[in-house]
Amino acid sequence: MSAVYLDHIVMKRESKSFTDSLYAVLTAAGLFEGSKFMLSGLTGMAFKFTVHERLLPLSVSAYGQWGSEHQPAVNNLGILTTIDGGRTRHPTFGYYQKEAVEWVKDSLNRGIGAVYWIPEFGVINGYDDADRVFFVQDGLSSESKVVLYDNFGLNFTPFWYCQIFGDKVEVAPADRILESLRLALVDWETPHKTLPAIDIASGRLAYTYLIRGLRKGDYDEWGAVYILESYLYARTEIMQYLQAVQGIWRELDEAYTLYDQLVRTVSGIKNCLIEVEGVKRVDRMRIVPLVEMLTAAESFEEQAVRQFRILSGRYPDLKRTTVPRWGLHQPR
């Protein structure tokens, strides 16, 4: 019987829950140094923007197949990562569950936490064999939650997910930045990342879904607020990221100026949210100015992404011009 508790891992919810979890684990393990907005930018997570047609809160984390989205994000940091997950209804889930319990414990024994779908994403920072439990942080409370080994992966969604990390290699800063912009391009230009379902839109089309949903009025109240606040935070992260990497390429400088204008424009989103009986919601009397802000923001972002496209076209992109042995191949 053994137990480990990594109390130096502290998760705080600010950005996307995956980014918050990743930042907590990697910084505690000495695998990443820098601000959270740099991590969000370098991994491409800041650029992920998805919206359900009824503005459901699941929009924020429904940005695609998580393994396919998170693997390239962590790869761009030069960090070895192992991911597993799927649907808990599959008959083989129990076998994968038992294996995952062991490799998460091995990671904790090495002093590295794990990212875990609670939901949303959180951090496993300890275990106790005597009680057969994991300790999990959700970033919303200072208290750790307890998950029984037998309940690992089980939650009110049909999905389970866990991710651990290993050694790191150095990747040239310019290469990491360029790849982050290419990840942003894929997100912007892929209208649906959860096919065959088309009720969730990504990138450019997400603006259409958000604006149309607000105008129709038949939207989820809490979901609309969550999407708008997450969107504003993420666009601020992008602006801060591009500001930090200015001076390398002219296109980056122009993109920073455009995102700075975008953030200034949508900062008024805060004034379009009100509290009713202690619950935050969109002020329906301010839908028109809110839609005007988002329409202007879409134009700024389109222009910024155009700069990413110009910059990307100036350099070879072997990841997307060479067909891999297996996995996804994104057309250019």
Residue 325 clears pLDDT 80, i.e. is over it: no
Residue 34 clears pLDDT 50, i.e. is over it: yes
The Cα 214–Cα 284 span in angstroms is 9
Instruction: Report residue 212's pLDDT band, with 50, 70 and 90 as the boundaries.
Output: very high
The Cα 231–Cα 304 span in angstroms is 16
Residue 173 clears pLDDT 60, i.e. is over it: yes
The pLDDT tens digits of the residues spanning 130-139 come to 999 999 999 9
| Strand bridging mode 133-137 / 145-148 | antiparallel
Half-sphere exposure (CA, 13 Å, Cβ side) for 294?
26
Instruction: Report residue 48's pLDDT band, with 50, 70 and 90 as the boundaries.
Output: very high
Residue 331 clears pLDDT 50, i.e. is over it: no
Instruction: Report residue 322's pLDDT band, with 50, 70 and 90 as the boundaries.
Output: low
pLDDT confidence of residue 142? 85
* Residue whose entry in the numeric block shows the structure tokens 């805060």: 270
Q: Would you say 107 and 165 are in contact if contact means Cβ atoms under 8 Å apart?
A: yes
* Closest alpha carbon to 235 in 46, 88, 5: 46
The Cα 50–Cα 47 span in angstroms is 10
Residue 185 clears pLDDT 60, i.e. is over it: yes
- Kindly report whether the peptide bond that precedes residue 120 is cis, defined as omega within 30 degrees of 0: yes
Q: Output the CA–CA distances (angstroms, integers) from residue 95 to 48, 101, 116, 212, in the order listed.
A: 32, 10, 18, 44
What amino acid occupies position 52? H
Spell out the domain ranges in the chain: 3-49+65-168, 173-321
The Cα 125–Cα 309 span in angstroms is 40
Instruction: Report residue 328's pLDDT band, with 50, 70 and 90 as the boundaries.
Output: low
- Kindly report whether the peptide bond that precedes residue 158 is cis, defined as omega within 30 degrees of 0: no
The pLDDT mean for the chain works out to: 95
DSSP H or E stretch at residue 23: helix 17-28
Bridge partners (DSSP) of residue 134 are: 127, 147
Q: Which CATH class is domain 3-49+65-168?
A: alpha beta
Residue 330 clears pLDDT 90, i.e. is over it: no
pLDDT confidence of residue 316? 85
Average pLDDT over residues 242-247: 96
The Cα 41–Cα 46 span in angstroms is 6
* Closest alpha carbon to 265 in 239, 225, 297, 288: 297
Instruction: Report residue 277's pLDDT band, with 50, 70 and 90 as the boundaries.
Output: confident
Task: Say what percent of the chain tops pLDDT 70.
Answer: 96
Q: Would you say 142 and 153 are in contact if contact means Cβ atoms under 8 Å apart?
A: no
pLDDT confidence of residue 1? 66
Instruction: Report residue 320's pLDDT band, with 50, 70 and 90 as the boundaries.
Output: confident
Tokens of 234: 């993420």
Contacts 24+ apart (CB under 8 A), 213-220: 213/51, 213/53, 213/54, 213/55, 214/55, 214/282, 214/287, 214/290, 214/291, 214/294, 215/287, 215/291, 217/284, 217/287, 218/54, 219/54, 219/55, 220/54, 220/55, 220/56, 220/57
Q: Output the CA–CA distances (angstroms, integers) from residue 134 to 4, 108, 118, 160, 205, in the order listed.
A: 9, 10, 12, 15, 39
Q: In this structure, what is the dihedral angle of CA atoms 190, 38, 239, 297, given to the nearest 10 degrees?
A: 30
Q: Would you say 266 and 249 are in contact if contact means Cβ atoms under 8 Å apart?
A: no
pLDDT confidence of residue 23? 98
The three-class DSSP label of residue 170 is coil
What amino acid occupies position 186? V
The pLDDT tens digits of the residues spanning 70-92 come to 999 999 999 999 999 999 999 99
pLDDT confidence of residue 324? 58
Instruction: Report residue 332's pLDDT band, with 50, 70 and 90 as the boundaries.
Output: very low
32-36, 102-106, 315-319: lowest mean pLDDT where? 315-319
